[in-house]
Amino acid sequence: MPDAKVIPFDDDRARGARRVRRGALASVPGQAPPDTGARGAASGGTPAVAEAETTGAASASAVSGPAPSDDLAGEAGAASAGSAASPGSTASAGSAASAGGLAEPGLLERLLGREGDRRAARGLAFLRRRLTGDYPVDDFGYDAELTDQVLMSLLRPVYDRYFRVEVRGIENVPADGGALIVANHSGTLPWDGLMLQVAVHDHHPAGRRLRLLAADLVFLLPVVGELARKAGHTLACVEDAGRLLERGEIVGVMPEGFKGVGKPFADRYKLQRFGRGGFVSTALRAGTPIVPCSIVGAEEIYPMLGNARTLARLLGLPYFPLTPTFPWLGPLGAVPLPTKWTIQFGEPIPTDGYAAEAADDPLLMFHLTDQVREKIQHTLYQLLVQRRSVFF
């Protein structure tokens, strides 16, 4: 019987280790498995190569345990591939999870929107300035920050959704420098002045602010007087109006006064006397243009059917209105009717071409006053003809 070749145990273990290495190398991207030539040289065995393979086999056995069979070697290769790929896949999963966690919106953002946190920060800063008194106020008491962020925000829903005000000719209000806006006055309560202020504030392309001239009674009322000062209103006197115009402010005046706002419903849209022309004299001295303004829709919000003059004298008021809802419905009677409004600004009337002494010329003042009044009255008639309905 020929001599049988006996394969040493170490050689068998070395072959198993080589299978493990080939499986691991095959699982690594870009790594080619060892060629058959190298395997043949290893099995032929030079002492140095055999010793190196034996050393590698021992290292593999220390890691993977006893000598693996062919099935176990395949499983070891798969495990090696899994271990090689798992760090990257784990990192990718972790990155995706962390990115998903960062992209998830917070509670404040879900409640208030994307700009919710910024709005909350601005609100807190506003409250802090209110509490500490760290906000600017001019010498008339005008608080621009309170007006823009609070008062206009309260009036804007009434302006946009309740009265649905339509503004025309806002480009006739100068983009810079002073100007005097002269408007008709009506409505029993002065909602027309407030809506006029919102119209200039929200629609003027240069972001101008209207400074209204108000009667003394406004500033004698509790709370109302202080809010009027904060909103930029001041006394209807020549001195205050002149100072504002010289500063380049837009000043608003309603020359009809209480005669206009308190007239009976039967006289609606019929302009009352424009005083003695003091607003014209003020504009002439300042050299600022006069912008006529016509407001339609305010006359019908409180149809004034009567005036309780005795009660008005007892309360110190210029009139005490009797409307279809007030005082019969109590506080509900103070809710205005939702009429449709139109505010139209006419072309400005220049005054800078007159001499300085023209402000003391009574004939010139009468002429300009009548010109402004006729322009407003004519525009009111035009708007009334174009109006489809009081409420639509």
Q: Encode pLDDT of 64-92 as tens digits.
A: 444 444 443 344 343 443 433 344 444 44
pLDDT < 50 stretches in the chain:
1-14, 17, 20, 24-103
d(Cα 248, Cα 233) in Å, to the nearest integer? 15
d(Cα 77, Cα 89) in Å, to the nearest integer? 18
Are 368 and 361 in contact, with CB atoms under 8 Å apart? no
Query: Which DSSP symbol is given to 213?
Result: E
Nearest to 294, CA basis, from 316, 327, 271, 314:
271
Query: Which DSSP symbol is given to 172?
Result: G
Cis preceding-peptide flag for 327 (omega within 30 of 0): yes
d(Cα 191, Cα 302) in Å, to the nearest integer? 10
- Residue 369: what are its φ and ψ, rounded to 5°? -60, -45
Q: Which helix (H) or strand (E) holds 167?
A: strand 166-168
Are 216 and 235 in contact, with CB atoms under 8 Å apart? yes
- Residue 206: what are its φ and ψ, rounded to 5°? -95, 5
Q: Which helix (H) or strand (E) holds 348?
A: none
**pLDDT of the residue at 38:** 37
d(Cα 206, Cα 303) in Å, to the nearest integer? 36
d(Cα 246, Cα 288) in Å, to the nearest integer? 9
**pLDDT of the residue at 113:** 61
d(Cα 247, Cα 244) in Å, to the nearest integer? 5
Beta strand pairing status for 210-214 and 234-235? parallel
Query: Tokens standing for 251?
Result: 């000043």
Nearest to 262, CA basis, from 339, 315, 185:
185
- Residue 353: what are its φ and ψ, rounded to 5°? -90, 0
**The residue count for the chain:** 392
Are 373 and 270 in contact, with CB atoms under 8 Å apart? no
Are 298 and 187 in contact, with CB atoms under 8 Å apart? yes
Which residue is listed with tokens 């001499």? 355
**pLDDT of the residue at 115:** 67
H helices of 287-361, in order, are: 309-315
- Residue 55: what are its φ and ψ, rounded to 5°? -60, -45
- Whole-angstrom CA distances from 182 to 213, 265, 344 are 11, 22, 11
Where residue 318 falls (left for φ over 0; alpha for ψ -120 to 50; beta otherwise) is alpha
